[in-house]
Amino acid sequence: MTLRFGLSYLFRHPPGTSASAVYGAKLEQIRLAESLGLDDVWVGEHHFVDDGWLPSPLTAAAAIAAATGRIGIGTNALLPALHHPIRLAEDAAVVDDISGGRLLLGVALGYRAREFEVLGIPHRERAGRLEEAVGILRRCWTEDRFTHAGRHYAFADVACRPVPAQRPIPIWVGAAEAPAALRRAAVLGDGWLSGGAPRPEARARYLEILAELGKDGPNPPIAASSRPYIFVTRDPERDRHALRSAAVEQTRTAERWYAEAGQALPGGLSVEQLTDLLFLVDTPENVTAAILESYRQGAYTHHIHTPNILGVPVERCTESVELFATEVVPAVRAGLAAEAVAP
């Protein structure tokens, strides 16, 4: 199995900076990533964030599709509960056609109550809406006409056009490691967006559920990350110091969102402690070792990380992308190949 390597884009920019310039610079970075042989790019979805966190993932995906020719384009993750499923199916089909069949539609529940409140959708309905929407999406992409009568949506004699290049577009489901979440990902999805590196027991449980469903097979699609944010550098001491305040400030966004929900950060961690878990600033050799170790703990098929740190110039992060593509990826693949043939 060849491990695929992808980059995640949030298109965040500090208040007062130009959103247009940030989009342009990151599209250039994505074109470079494709030219360097990276496999996928992924875009997320959040709303009402001061730093412009991407609210329109399929719009960005269409721009990426038009600017590239080979790289896979995923959403990690789009929130179906905030969209009408027919409009979502149509938009996804357009992106898939523009890209020539490169779309990977990653979806998730969503958790920020504020997003649901402003858009007039009951937060308690998000699981039901997600589950119903996934079924509708697949029918839109595979059936000529269909009628649906569900708890949240109802329509008759619908013919969704255009038809996507992929019939159907693969759907990946974002899920934590709780039993109910793992089952939802296995039941609904063609792949699991696990967030961090899956713990061995969670991966084993996911595989058990796939087997129960008759969906098991070698190398089930799982997307993971050794660390969500990776910055590759030849001078880690210098860059850890230079990037620390930006990384901590980025983590404070998560702290605020948890506080909105009346919760502390996971595990009772401080902002500084969580930053240390989320961000890896290190040499190509040490980043390679970290990825290999995470893979040994629970094998996956797609490695995803965010290369841009809020408040750090895109050009500096592009240097990290180049080191990652030219030194880390070949070294990880060589390491996996050596372990595969070791006695």
- What are the pLDDT digits (tens) for 285-305? 999 999 999 999 989 999 999
Of the CA atoms within 13 Å of residue 13, those in its CB half-sphere come to: 17
Residue type, 73: I
CB atoms within 10 A of CB 248: 16
For the cut 90, the answer to whether the pLDDT of residue 261 exceeds it is no
**Buried b / exposed e across 45-65, counting CB within 10 Å, b at 16+?**
bbbebebbbbbebbebbbbbb
Average confidence (pLDDT) over 43-54: 94
Residue 130 vs residue 51, higher pLDDT: 130
For the chain, counts of helices (H) and of strands (E): 12, 12
For the cut 60, the answer to whether the pLDDT of residue 168 exceeds it is yes
Q: Which tokens is 320 given?
A: 């990290």
Question: Quick one: which H or E segment has residue 148?
Answer: strand 146-149
Q: How far apart are CA 220 and CA 176, in angstroms?
A: 17
pLDDT score, position 16: 83
Q: Which of 83-97, 266-280, 316-330 has the lowest mean pLDDT?
A: 266-280
Q: Which domain holds residue 196?
A: 4-341
CB 14 within 8 A of CB 309: no
pLDDT band at 343, cuts 50/70/90? Answer: low
For the cut 90, the answer to whether the pLDDT of residue 262 exceeds it is no
Number of domains observed in the structure of the chain? 1
Q: How far apart are CA 257 and CA 132, in angstroms?
A: 27
pLDDT score, position 254: 86
**What does the mean pLDDT of the chain come to?**
95
Average confidence (pLDDT) over 154-165: 97
pLDDT for 71-118, tens place per residue? 999 999 999 999 999 999 999 999 999 999 999 999 999 988 899 999
Closest CA to 67 of 37, 106, 105, 41: 41
pLDDT band at 337, cuts 50/70/90? Answer: very high
pLDDT band at 260, cuts 50/70/90? Answer: confident
Q: How far apart are CA 54 and CA 302, in angstroms?
A: 22
CATH number of the domain where residue 73 is located: 3.20.20.30
Q: How far apart are CA 11 and CA 112, in angstroms?
A: 19
**Buried b / exposed e across 298-329, counting CB within 10 Å, b at 16+?**
bbbbbbbbbbbbbbbebeebbbbbebbbebbb
> Structure pTM?
0.95
- The dihedral over CA atoms of 159, 165, 168, 173, expressed in degrees to the nearest 10, equals -120
Average confidence (pLDDT) over 127-146: 98
